[in-house]
Structure 1
Amino acid sequence: MHGFTQLKAGPVTAGRTLTVVAALRAWLSAGLAAAASGISRAAINRRVVRQLSAMSDRELRDIGLSRQDVLDAGILLVEGDASDFLVDRRDERRASRSVPRGGWPPRRH
């Protein structure tokens, strides 16, 4: 061991090591939580689309959706969030049906 010196880990080195380990543990647990969240979110989306697919057209109309909306959401299961898509579709339809303020009853000119 000629030419090599041995360094003892002092309190600063030990503290830094603990900080790095804690940061690594936090990063790893956050990554695992995100992965688990993504998997459970995908499962929820599949269940929602499956339940909506079993509904009749009349039931879908009652909640502001169409059969095509459900089919489109089924395609999104691979690449996006189907429930957000369905809520946006419903809100678009509601907005297009709403009457502007002062627009009802229609005025005769």
Structure 2
Amino acid sequence: MFGGVLAFTAIDNLRNLDEMVGYAESKGAPEPERTVPFISGSLLFGGIGIAAWKFPRLAAGAVAAFLVSVTPAMHDFWAIDDDQQREQELIHFLKNVALLGGAIAFLRIGQDD
């Protein structure tokens, strides 16, 4: 289920690529036209890899790398003045931190294979 949700998220990012690139651009992400498809692809790889249990450590590492690189840049709740928007960014930030915890757990579990 964990991997499936991540893969779905990545597919959604890729299906709405223009919107995701625009959002990344608004957050000051470097070269969003190149980085957004690349990191969404790494999330897709990681999600499918975890779900299918193929290369589990590599897949979990891809997910962790995605979350570590994206979370503070895209969900910088501390820099938002609007209360409602800040709350939404905080929710996304905390969700990603929880997902990172899951990815780290899968990194450990994947060592046994």
Q: TM-score range by the shorter chain?
A: 0.3 to 0.5
- Higher RCO (CA 8 Å, separation ≥ 6 residues): 2
User: Which has the greater radius of gyration?
Assistant: 1
TM-score, structure 2 length as denominator?
A: 0.36
**Greater helix content:** 2
TM-score, structure 1 length as denominator?
A: 0.37
